Chain A
Amino acid sequence: MTLRITLATAARVLRQVRRDRRTLALVLLVPPLLMTLFRYVFDGQPETFDRVGPPLVGIFPFVSLFLVASIAMLRERTTGTLERLMSMPLAKLDLLLGYAIAFALLAVAQASLTAAVSFGLLGLDSTGPVWLVVVLAVANAVLGMALGLFLSAFAQTEFQAVQFMPAFVLPQVLLAGLLVPRDKMAPLLELISYAMPLTYAYDALARATADELGRRLTIDVVLICAFIVLSLVLGATTLRRRTA
């Protein structure tokens, strides 16, 4: 792995994102707009908005970066640029970390904007520190990106890659405890939820919002990081120097 190549890759990915103005606008503006929608859907139940609002600020980046990353990597595969890179002196980690850095920066912008709108304009309340919600949101974005890079290897077309969102992301959102507390679900589902990365992401966000900054939050964060590393390693195994 070479820092020079990793950073060059991050710069290249950011340049591509910047070129695609429409995608950039969608990534940055859709989460704040959805938060606004939530705010007025729950107009009569402000306490519900205060409960699900902060975790949502942290979950949007997971979903949108998952999609962006899986399409981006699929494109590298289908246009032949991945094969070119793999025939060059570039380590697999240079590519994956380059993507991680670029998309983490994008997530910082997205999460900050969403948090500013939600906590500033929409009157969302958090007992815990708002900066921690933003930090966790960025970690979730990196997690979503790493999963997206890995899973994109199993999609042959963009149609398939897009379907991975409802297939892999929505069940995790349902099982994470956002809609229904996990201990109220069917026991089997609760058991499955322990294996899902988003469960810990949601738990961390809920604890940060409730100002429960203890050992459990630390464990959540460690697990999120472990899932990120695991996904990147799995992602690296799908990058092949030789193909059939």
Chain B
Amino acid sequence: MQDEPTPSELTRAVADFLRNDIAPLISGHNAFKLRVAINALDLVTRQLTLEREGDAAETARLAALLGCEGSLLELNQVLAERLASGDVDLQTPGLSEHLWQTTMDKLAVDQPNYAAYKREMGRT
């Protein structure tokens, strides 16, 4: 068992240090790069926080939708193949809801400030 603090507590502390103490001291292209770095750390923190639950739900949805078992990567490969071949499409019960939920879970980690995501969040 690894000890505390957790990875997300560490990434959050580093991001806060860079944001609050370092960013005000830096300008020009390095300020831009620092913003990207802070964004990357914030993304990692969100992923560490949200990934486990999102992946478990996605795996369960895929298993039900496809009627087979496998790792999350394998199940996504099967879904991709069936969509490409036309075996499943938007008429398939549960497909649209699955793609929406999976995509919303990705955006919650990748880009929670993306305007289209915020709009869709406001609908539910």
Genuine A/B complex: no
